[in-house]
Amino acid sequence: IGYAISLSGPNAQGAAITTLSGYKLWVDDVNKKGGLKVQGFDKPIPIEVVEYDDTSNAENAVRLVERLMTQDKVDFVLPPWSTGFNLATAPVFARNGYPQLAVTANSNDAANLVKQMPTLFFFLNEPRHFGAALGEVLSKLKSENKINNKIVMLSIADQFGAEFTSGVTPVLQSAGFEFALRKSYPAGSADLTNEIKEAKASGADSFVAYSYPPDTFMLTNTAVTQGYNPKVFHVGVGTAFARYGAVMKEKAEGVMGLGGWDPKAPGAEDYQKRLVALTNQPGDAW
């Protein structure tokens, strides 16, 4: 089994919590049982892992996924982390005939992409569906005169941010909302103070950011230090990390984010216990 994933760089935090921990738990589970049952063998075969660090660089991800398939010739390749990296590597999976379980990827063009690359399988809804859910919440608040119709939308300048901005914007506009500010910021930004100041001065009651984990933490902390507390505060990936609640404490109350899960679902509690025992951190509650 092989995978190239962000072990270093700005994507490392997201990859470690949402994806890599699951890979490690799966390998541990299977190998504790003796391995995988494979046709043609009279006993289970232990999993061997070939792991590469794409260093949060999409070109590296493409090159390393190709290497896993054509040089290492692993039997199965697990996907990278993030929308951008999954879409960048999708042609490599398709060309070499490897199934791609694109767990952490969204696209507004998912149906057409799957037609072009039948090995590609999406697990998440398209951004417009996320936008529709957000629109329902905001429309209810607006109808109750709790918020105005103005929105600030920030997004990370990569494929994830582009997909969500283009998918969600028309949905919210059709619900009667206007954008007081719509702006992207560079991936790996070290300071988003100016963006928060612009949001604060915009007159919008709703703040929406399609951010990755480092920025989600940064935007929240910066909003606190700048005294920015809009009626709706919605940030992206990372709100469902246990660390977000642990770091933000009471300041996390009322914050909206992407995804959700039911901790009472069958197997959920056991999964988290086993994950913590192996990796010393709980999984993503997306």
**Which helix (H) or strand (E) element contains residue 53?**
strand 50-53
Give 42-60 pLDDT, tens digit per residue: 999 999 999 999 999 999 9
Yes or no: say if 152 and 199 are a contact pair by the CB < 8 Å rule.
yes
Confidence at residue 261, expressed as pLDDT on a 0 to 100 scale: 81
Rounded distance, CA 47 to CA 30, Å? 8
Q: Which of 264, 248, 286 is nearest to 124 (CA)?
A: 286
pLDDT tens digits, 156-212: 999 999 999 999 999 999 999 999 999 999 998 999 999 999 999 999 999 999 999
- Sign for the CA dihedral angle at 41, 3, 127, 87 comes to negative
Average pLDDT over residues 32-50: 94
Q: pLDDT band at 283, cuts 50/70/90? A: confident
d(CA 127, CA 129): 5
**157 CB contacts (<8 Å, ≥6 apart)?**
184, 185, 186, 187
pLDDT reported for residue 205: 98
Indicate the Cα dihedral angle 207, 200, 180, 161, nearest 10°.
Answer: -40
DSSP string, 99-132: -EEETT---TTHHHHHHH-TTEEE-SPPHHHHHH
**Looking at residues 266-274, what average pLDDT do you find?**
93
- The pLDDT-based confidence of 86 (bands split at 50, 70, 90) is very high
Measured in degrees and rounded to the nearest 5, phi and psi for residue 14 equal -65, -45
Global model pTM greater than 0.85:
yes
- Spatial CA neighbour of 159 closest among 201, 213, 108, 230: 108
pLDDT, position 152: 98
**By three-state DSSP, how is residue 222 classified?**
helix
Any idea what the Cα angle at residue 177 is, between residues 174 and 181, rounded to 5°? 125
Rounded CA-CA distance 183/157 in Å is 9
Mean of pLDDT values over 227-242: 96
Confidence of residue 22 (pLDDT cuts 50, 70, 90): very high
Mean pLDDT of the chain, nearest integer: 95
At 100-154, the pLDDT tens digits run 999 999 999 999 999 999 999 999 999 999 999 999 999 999 999 999 999 999 9
pLDDT band of 259, cuts 50, 70, 90: confident
